Structure 1
């Protein structure tokens, strides 16, 4: 019975092809180190995103408390002076303040979310640029 050799895997074929063309071979340790740095950057980006989300939630809780305080103030004023005219004036004032606060709060939350997203993206962008620079250096480094 004839003995057959196993077919080479794709990575072996690719490495042999590169060797035949005399392409530079990357240093495995340098690639692994770069991969560790990429994972650290992903971890930092996740922490920044989580921190940004936490800040947004904290601010939204504050906004909700401000709204509840305003409702309590309005209810107290209505209890003290409950003529139809004062009730309508208080409701109108409350509606106006609520609308203004909603616009202001929405804008503030949007700015916070945008800043958090930009901070997170900056970490990933810097990591990607450093990865490209490191790979370029690894691939062109003379063999020792």
Structure 2
């Protein structure tokens, strides 16, 4: 069988095409470094979001455990007290405490979400600012 001629590398063909058209040279390493920084910023932002989600889960677990402790204590107290009025008072107090705990935990969870969102946004904002500076510097370098 006849041996097929070896095909030139795609990047080499693209580079030669650009040279033939007298296009400016493209620094592939610079482009890759730019995109690598973008991907690193996205990874950091995702990590910040994941850390926030983990904190939310921990806070929800803590709230559930606190609620279970309160329920257990209330049931124990109801068993040991005989008076109906006292039982109603304890149930009312439990309901009040439960509502206050739910509101407190909801506020804490909201704050965790807010903080992790702000952190993720700040990471991406910093990367966008750096990318714009890189583009401006590259333009100035080619211009000058």
Asked if these proteins are the same fold (TM beyond 0.5), I'd say: yes
Corresponding residue for residue 79 of structure 2 = 79
1:49 lines up with 2:73 in the alignment: no
Where do 5+ consecutive residues of structure 2 fail to align?
Answer: 1-16
Give the aligned CA root-mean-square deviation in angstroms: 2.2
Corresponding residue for residue 103 of structure 1 = 103
Deviations 1:80-104 (A, max 9, x none): 0032111101110011101111111
Distance 1:26 1:110 in 2: 47
Distance 2:96 2:35 in 1: 54
How many angstroms does 1:30 deviate by? 1.4
Question: SS of the counterpart of 1:142?
Answer: helix
Which one has more relative contact order, counting CA pairs under 8 Å at least 6 apart? 1
Where do 5+ consecutive residues of structure 1 fail to align?
Answer: 1-11
How many angstroms does 1:26 deviate by? 5.5
Q: How many aligned residue pairs are there? A: 126
Corresponding residue for residue 61 of structure 1 = 61
Does the Cα contact within 8 Å between 1:45 and 1:120 map onto a contact in 2? yes
Q: If the length of structure 1 is used for normalisation, what is the TM-score?
A: 0.79
Does the Cα contact within 8 Å between 1:49 and 1:116 map onto a contact in 2? yes
Alignment of 1:117-136 (within 5 A): 117-136=117-136
1:31 lines up with 2:31 in the alignment: yes
Q: If the length of structure 2 is used for normalisation, what is the TM-score?
A: 0.79
